[in-house]
Each structure stands twice: as structure tokens, then as C-alpha cells.
Chain A
Amino acid sequence: MPAITFIHPDGKSERVETASGESAMQAATRHGLDGILAECGGNAMCATCHVYVDESWLARLPAMADDEDALLDGTASERRPASRLSCQIKVTPELDGLIVRLPERQV
């Protein structure tokens, strides 16, 4: 199964195994990872599953939908070009090894 590495703001990194069909957010919450809140359960409503995708991976992710784009304007930590909502990143085998950074805050 593809694995994702989450890097916390303090530099500590955590590798999380994903299950098939899961989003990066679901993998993170299933492992009880701190730093992904996911208040809305993946409904693209809350923007509390915000991550910064590693530069080297950014281009390899499917493009974001309009609703994700709009939501990212409401994140608690600043939006950057690498900002994505982890609930909208479905983990496919091609994304094995994906690296994302966690923002300072989610609310």
C-alpha cells in the first residue's frame, strides 16, 4: 500500500501507510496523526485538513477542483502555491512516497 510522509512544523516526520481508496486525510486521521483536524469529515467544507505538498510532488497530483480552490482561501495558516486539502488527495499507487508538510494551525 502507498505510504505518505507528513512533516510537522517542528520538523518531526511521520510515515503513514494508506489503505486502498483512502484520501491522505483519512489515512492521517485513522492513524491519529496530530495536525490534521478534518472537522467536516472530508466534505470539502472546513479546510482543517490543509497541507503543503512537497515541491517535487506538486505537479504529480491531479489538478484541484474549484471548490477546493475556493476553500483554500479560508485556511487558518497562510495559503501558499503548494497548499492542498488532504481530504481531496486520493492516494493512488503513483503517489507512494508522497511528502506533505503540516501548517502551523488548522483553526
Chain B
Amino acid sequence: MTASGTPASTGPASIPHLDVDPFDMTFFADPYPAHQLLREAGPVVYLDKWNVYGVARYAEVHAVLNDPATFCSSRGVGLSDFKKETPWRPPSLILEADPPAHTRTRAVLSKVLSPTAMKQVRDRFAAAAEQRVDALIEMRSFDAIADLAEAYPLSIFPDALGLKPEGREHLIPYASVVFNAFGPPNELRQEAIARSAPHQAYVAEQCQRDNLAPGGFGACIHARVDDGEITATEAPLLVRSLLSAGLDTTVNGIGAAVYCLARFPDQWQRLRDDLTLARNAFEEAVRFESPVQTFFRTTTRDVELSGARIGEGEKVLMFLAAANRDPRRWDKPDSYDVTRRTSGHVGFGSGIHMCVGQLVARLEGEVMLTALARRVAKIEITGEPKRRFNNTLRGLDSLPVTITPA
């Protein structure tokens, strides 16, 4: 990985060209040195491997996220430009949409996943977290990914959506396809899409009104059709957004939190001493590990960003994870601190597309960490953690641990 100072175009400032491939296995294995290189090379860089611009500093990532008129989502938030290529699936009506279309669909999901809706599911989510911890204490030694980070959201989220019990094994593989598909046409993406047909069929079917139990998030979305807020053809696609983005993200979020707390016993102790830190301990894990590493935007016009000129129709890759550890913005960015003032991190994005499911994620994280910290004295990593590779998501495949009950 080298930075050459070749001027990109006739721009006012020269844009450094880097030969970093941020979708390569070696990058995924340890992204931090490359994140630093990307941040330090300049406010805007150009990645020759995929012919895209990149921003890795907090200020520029934040600026791009908060200027959706210039940096749009409707041409895809992955590498593929929907204006030039046919999307692999019908585009999302929220993630891959711009105002005013986005404003309307966003309002629907915001209501379905509002603080009031969270109050209704909170007790159920908390009880399931206690049950999960019961089972883990029974096991003592287990895989913190399969038995905790996956098992817990799987025990509540599909039910909260109102999904049928059959076929749920498609959920995580489907999400893995979705998040791989944001990446470039590398092996991860091509293989994922090639194997996606059965998962897509399952998801399309479950998004239909008749397949969603009354009272669940899915049924609540369909109920908005009756109020005229969305059409009957839009509703299933909005349910699909929750199926795509609502499970694997929290698996990686909870996995990140447990991995942090197992690696940094002093932080685990602070959490145990004050359980009210649980919500922030989860939030800090989302900053520190950034389960969603990157998203793209496409420029709608010629624009100058921090002195760098970018033409119309260019893809800009935002390194959320690098922004979340930018020393320009964060004190001791590489330490995990459960008492950190995390407000402003971009792990959930920022601006109009900022994660609409953030309250669900935080609720799951908070009740799970509270239950764990109350009942478990110690978490020890007992084997080599294995990484799971995905073009967008960062997380582990397995994390062998042994716990000591409190």
C-alpha cells in the first residue's frame, strides 16, 4: 500500500491516488493500518483499484452523509451505479432512495420503530436476554458468536417482525448477500449473489401481508397502506428492509460488544460496577468496531469537498469505521471506553439515512449487556477468534469463551 501524489484531474488540490483495496481479505483481516493510511493521505483520496473516491476522516465522512442532495443514495449505496447497471434486486425504497421519496418511506419506518414501539417490546427483549444468559451460565464454555450474538437476536427479532417459524434459517444468509452485494464485483459478491436465489424467494414470500403476524413490525408497516401513507406494492419492500438490515447488523453489534468486553477486563469491571453504563458500552462497541464499515454515495453534480474537486456521477466511498477512530475527532480513538461520550459517532450513519433501526439495536444491546454484567463475573477468551468476511459487515465467525458466574 503506497500513496503516490499524482494529481487526479485539474482539481484545485491534488488528490492522492492509493492502491489500497478496501474489499480485500488482507484488508479485512486488519483494516486499521490501512484506515490510518487512508486518513493521513488527505481529506479525499482516489482508489485506483475500483475507480472511486474515498473519505476516511470524520469531518469529510460527516459532511458527505449530511449533504444528500450532492451525495445521493438513489444511484446505490454500494459500488454499483444504478444509472449504469441494473441492480441485483429491486432497490430499497428507503436506503437507496433520495428525498422526497425517501422522506415518505422513512416516516413510516420511523413510526414503526419509534421509542413508543420500543416500550412495547422492551420487557420481552429483556426477558429473552435473561433466558439466554441462563442457558449460557449452564454451558459455561461456548461460542460467543453462535450461542450469544446470533442466538439472542434470533430469539426475538423474527418474532418481533411477526415472521413464521419456518424458514428462518434463510435470514442471516440473506443479510450476508445484501451486505456483500454493496461491495465491488469480487469473489465475495459474485458468490453471494450466485447462491442467493433460495434466500431471495424466502424473503419475498415473508414480506407479504398474509405471512406477517398481527402486532409485529411487519404488520404495522402493512397497516400504513390502509392510511394511504404507502401503497400495497411498497409495503412488502419496506418489510424487506427490516429483514435485510435488522438482524445480521445486531448480530455483529452484539458480537462486537462481547468481543470488546472480553478483551478489556477493566471495562467489563466498570460495567459490572455500574449497570447503567450498558447502553453506552454497546454504543461504544458500535463506534469501536463499526459493524457496518462502509457505504457509498454518488455525486449528483461537480462538487468541491475540502479542496478536492469531484465530478458528477462519481462514487464516493465513506469509511465509517475510519471516521469513528479519527484522532482529529476522538480522544484515544483506539481505546474502548464504556464511559466515553459517544454521541456523534457514525457507526449508525448520520443525517437523513441514519439507521432507522437504531433503537432496536440499542435496546437489544442494552438488555443483553445488562443481563450479562449482572450475572457473569468474568469472560475469558479460550481460543483463537475466527473472522467472518463480508464486503460491508465486520464481525467474527466464532469466539470461544468461558464464563465465570457472579
Q: Which residues of A contact B (CB under 8 A)?
A: 29, 32, 37-41, 43-47, 67, 70-71, 73-75, 107
Q: Is the CB of B359 within 8 A of A46?
A: yes
Complex contact B343–A45 (CB within 8 A): no
Q: Are A45 and B111 in contact (CB under 8 A)?
A: no
Which B residues contact A (CB, under 8 angstroms)?
107, 110-111, 113-116, 118-119, 279, 283, 341, 343-344, 350-352, 354, 356, 358-359, 362
| Residue of A39, A44, A71 touching B362 (CB-CB under 8 A) | A39
- Assess the A107–B279 pair: CB atoms within 8 A: yes
How far in angstroms is the closest Cβ of chain A from B68?
A: 13
> Of B110, B350, B351, B358, which contacts A39 at CB under 8 A?
B358
Q: Is the CB of B110 within 8 A of A47?
A: no
Name B's interface SS. Answer: helix
Contact assessment for A70 and B356 in the assembled complex, using a CB-CB cutoff below 8 Å: no
- Can you pick out 18 interface pairs between chain A and chain B where the beta carbons lie within 8 Å of each other? A29-B343, A29-B344, A39-B343, A39-B362, A40-B354, A40-B358, A40-B359, A41-B354, A43-B352, A43-B354, A45-B113, A45-B359, A67-B107, A67-B111, A70-B116, A71-B114, A71-B115, A74-B118
A73 and B343 within 8 A (CB): no
Give the contacting residue for B116; candidates A37, A40, A73; CB below 8 A.
A73
Question: Closest CB of chain A to B330's CB: distance in Å?
Answer: 14
- B344's contact among A41, A46, A47, A70, by CB below 8 Å, is which? A41
Chain B residues near A107: list those with CB within 8 A: 279
Taking A40-B354, A41-B354, A107-B279 as contacts, is the C-beta distance between A46 and B341 under 8 angstroms?
no
Contact call A44/B110, Cβ cutoff below 8 A: yes
The 5 A-B residue pairs with the shortest CB-CB distance, nearest first, are A74-B115, A74-B116, A47-B115, A43-B354, A73-B116
Nearest chain A CB to B19's CB is how many angstroms away?
A: 34
* CA A107 to CA B283, docked complex, whole Å: 13
B16 CB to nearest chain A CB (Å): 30
Q: From DSSP, what is the main secondary structure of chain A's interface residues?
A: loop
Residues of B within 8 A of A37 (CB): 343
Given A41-B350, A67-B107, 19 further pairs, Cβ under 8 A:
A37-B343, A39-B343, A40-B358, A40-B359, A41-B343, A41-B344, A43-B351, A43-B352, A45-B115, A45-B354, A45-B356, A45-B358, A46-B359, A67-B110, A67-B111, A70-B114, A71-B115, A73-B116, A75-B115
In angstroms, how far is the closest chain A Cβ from the Cβ of B274?
14
CA distance A46 to B348 in the complex (A): 13
Bound-state Cα–Cα, A41 to B354, Å: 8
Closest CB in chain B relative to A83 CB, distance in Å:
13
In the complex with contacts A40-B358, A67-B107, A45-B341 CB distance below 8 A: no
Complex CA gap A92/B224 in Å reads 35
Which residues of B lie under 8 Å from residue A47 when comparing CB positions? 115
CB distance from B239 to the nearest CB of A (A): 19
Contact between chains at A45 and B344 (CB < 8 Å): no
B275 CB to nearest chain A CB (Å): 13
- Bound form: Cα–Cα A47–B140 in Å: 39
Q: Which residues of A contact B116 (CB under 8 A)?
A: 70-71, 73-74
CB B349 to nearest CB in A, in angstroms, measures: 9
Q: Which residues of A contact B351 (CB under 8 A)?
A: 41, 43
Determine how close the nearest CB of chain B comes to the CB of A20; give it in whole angstroms: 16
- Contact indicator A46/B343 (Cβ below 8 Å): no
- In the assembled complex, how far is the CB of residue B341 from the closest CB belonging to chain A, in whole angstroms? 7
CA separation between A70 and B343, bound complex, in Å? 23
**Residue on A nearest B115 in the bound complex, by CB:** A74
In the bound complex, CA of A62 to CA of B144 (Å)? 50
In the assembly, what is the distance between CA of A21 and CA of B359, in Å?
27
